[in-house]
């Protein structure tokens, strides 16, 4: 296997595997937020704000994986 | 073959400062924000005009959002937080304007397109020596000029775009993240006292607290990296996504992705400011026991 093929494989694997964890994490966050809103519809604005904050943290991990994939591919 | 560049491309030099296309767009965004703010403030009436209502509701909305996180010390931190939000939002949106990324200039052969020799050129030069046995048609020339590779890689009528979204350059996001973190340390020391603040990180009261303090110190550096890369990754990935989609199915398929990028631009600016607000409220409260 020459270096160029390994590059393609590496960048695909980096983002593919790197997006599994954050995907599951964001799904769990969203589900729990929906439950919380269902139990207490008055606190919807607070729950929504904190949910977006937590989703940003989880998404950042996927972004790290994407940056590595882009670096492998283009640098 | 679409051309995607990870770093900003150098347009010209001001003395010894290389001016990249992202720096040029940063200046234009700054000009826009400053001029519009001065114009709106200069005609400030007691009975507000429509544009004044928009700006006032934006400012007040942001203030009430930060007030729910920060409480009493909101007015002290508000200028930095609101400026970061507005600047980052307009920077993110500037990458979606028509003409940004599609209007470019041609570079003469002698000048570099990057501020430094890109790593890809260095790597391919060292690869050429051991592979002299292979009949690789790419390594016909012994010298590897930059004009050759840039002509092979892109089929655009220009070499480098004149404008580019500022936050799609890691320099901008790293600078914003360093400013945010430095101000956080400064305000933490100012409001708690320097010794109390450093005592959060380096404390000898018990072994557990000592290790927790060391972990807190490491996570401070982790926050700098995560701020920079979250914003950079989102905007740069959006840029790459738009380029690839436009190369595949032009004119129709990019429409929903442009809408997504508008949304992502606002959300990333919001997340940057809110995350900073949360960290500020943590940094300026006394350690709980």
pLDDT in tens, B41-73: 888 777 777 888 888 898 999 999 898 888 888
Smallest Cβ distance to B275: which of A46, A53, A66? A53
Which of B267, B85, B181 lies closest to A59 in space, CA to CA? B267
Higher pLDDT, B4 or B144: B4
* pLDDT at residue B108, as a whole number: 62
pTM of the model as a whole = 0.81
Residues of A with CB under 8 A from a CB of B: 3, 46, 49, 52-53, 56-57, 59-60, 63-64, 66-67, 70-71, 74-75
For the stretch B135-139, contacts whose Cβ atoms lie closer than 8 Å and that sit 24 or more positions apart, written own/partner, are none
Query: Phi, psi (5° rounding) for residue B104?
Result: -145, 175
* pLDDT at residue B192, as a whole number: 87
- What tokens were used for B77? 């931190």
Which of B35, B40, B62, B63 lies closest to B52 in space, CA to CA? B40
* pLDDT at residue B158, as a whole number: 74
Q: What is the DSSP string of B108-160?
A: PTTS-SSSS--HHHHHHHHHHTTTSSS--GGG-SSS--HHHHHHHH--SSSSE
- What tokens were used for B115? 């501020």
Which of B110, B210, B103, B212 lies closest to B159 in space, CA to CA? B103
Q: Which residues contact B167 (CB under 8 A, 6 or more apart)?
A: B88, B91, B92, B95, B173, B231, B232, B235, B268
Residue of B nearest to A70 (CA): B6
Query: Phi, psi (5° rounding) for residue B264?
Result: -65, -35
SS (H, E, C) B193-236: CHHHHHHHHCCCCCHHHHHHHHHHHHHHHHHHHHHHHHHHHHHH
The pLDDT-based confidence of B104 (bands split at 50, 70, 90) is confident
* pLDDT at residue B222, as a whole number: 87
* pLDDT at residue B134, as a whole number: 46
Report d(CA B11, CA B113) in Å as an integer.
7
- Residue B63 CA: distances (Å) to CA of B58, B60, B206: 9, 5, 40
Partner-chain contact A64 B237, CB within 8 Å: no
* pLDDT at residue B143, as a whole number: 41
Residues of chain A found within 8 Å of residue B65, distances taken between Cβ atoms: 49
Residues of chain B found within 8 Å of residue A44, distances taken between Cβ atoms: none
- Residue B193 CA: distances (Å) to CA of A20, B73, B121: 43, 16, 50
Percent of chain B's residues with pLDDT above 70: 82
B20-37 confidence digits (pLDDT tens):
999 999 999 999 999 998
Per-residue pLDDT, averaged over B5-32, amounts to 90
Residue of A nearest to B118 (CA): A75
Query: Phi, psi (5° rounding) for residue B111?
Result: -90, 150
* pLDDT at residue A50, as a whole number: 87
Q: Are B107 and B160 in contact (CB under 8 A)?
A: yes
ipTM given for this complex: 0.80
- CB count within 10 Å of CB B182 equals 11
Residue A25, exposed/middle/buried by CB under 10 A (0-12, 13-18, 19+)? Answer: middle
Query: Phi, psi (5° rounding) for residue B62?
Result: -60, -40
Q: Are B174 and B180 in contact (CB under 8 A)?
A: no
* pLDDT at residue B156, as a whole number: 67
Residue of A nearest to B268 (CA): A56
* pLDDT at residue B284, as a whole number: 85
- What tokens were used for B241? 């996504």
A11-67 confidence digits (pLDDT tens):
999 999 999 999 999 999 999 999 999 999 998 888 988 898 898 889 888 988 988
Report d(CA B162, CA B21) in Å as an integer.
6
């Amino acid at each position: 296997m020459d270096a160029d093929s390994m590059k393609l494989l590496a960048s695909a694997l980096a983002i593919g595997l790197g997006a599994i964890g954050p995907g599951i994490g964001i799904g769990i966050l969203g589900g729990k937020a929906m439950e919380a809103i269902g139990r207490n519809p008055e606190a919807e604005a607070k729950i929504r704000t904190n949910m977006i904050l937590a989703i940003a943290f989880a998404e950042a991990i996927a972004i790290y994986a994407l940056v590595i994939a882009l670096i492998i591919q283009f640098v | 073959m679409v051309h995607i560049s990870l770093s900003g491309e150098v347009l010209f030099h001001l003395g010894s400062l290389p001016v990249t296309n992202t720096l040029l767009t940063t200046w234009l965004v700054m000009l826009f924000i400053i001029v519009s703010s001065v114009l709106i403030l200069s005609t400030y009436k007691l009975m507000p005009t429509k544009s004044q209502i928009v700006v006032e509701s934006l400012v007040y909305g942001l203030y009430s959002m930060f007030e729910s996180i920060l409480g009493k010390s909101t007015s002290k931190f508000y200028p930095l937080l609101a400026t970061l939000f507005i600047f980052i939002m307009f920077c993110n949106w500037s990458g979606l304007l028509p003409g940004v990324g599609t209007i470019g200039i041609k570079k003469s052969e002698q000048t570099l397109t990057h501020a430094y020799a890109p790593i890809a050129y260095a790597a391919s030069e060292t690869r050429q020596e051991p592979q002299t046995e292979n009949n690789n048609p790419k390594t016909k020339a012994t010298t590897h000029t930059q004009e050759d590779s840039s002509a092979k890689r892109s089929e655009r009528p220009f070499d480098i775009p004149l404008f580019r979204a500022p936050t799609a350059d890691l320099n901008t996001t790293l600078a914003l993240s360093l400013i945010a973190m430095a101000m956080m340390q400064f305000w933490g020391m100012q409001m708690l006292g320097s010794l109390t603040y450093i005592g959060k990180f380096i404390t000898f009261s018990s072994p557990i607290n000592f290790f927790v303090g060391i972990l807190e110190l490491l996570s401070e550096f982790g926050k700098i990296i995560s701020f920079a890369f979250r914003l950079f990754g989102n905007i740069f990935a959006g840029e790459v996504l738009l380029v690839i989609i436009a190369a595949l199915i032009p004119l129709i398929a990019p429409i929903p992705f442009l809408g997504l990028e508008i949304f992502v631009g606002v959300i990333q600016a919001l997340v940057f400011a809110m995350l900073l607000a949360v960290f500020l409220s943590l940094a300026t409260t006394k350690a709980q026991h």
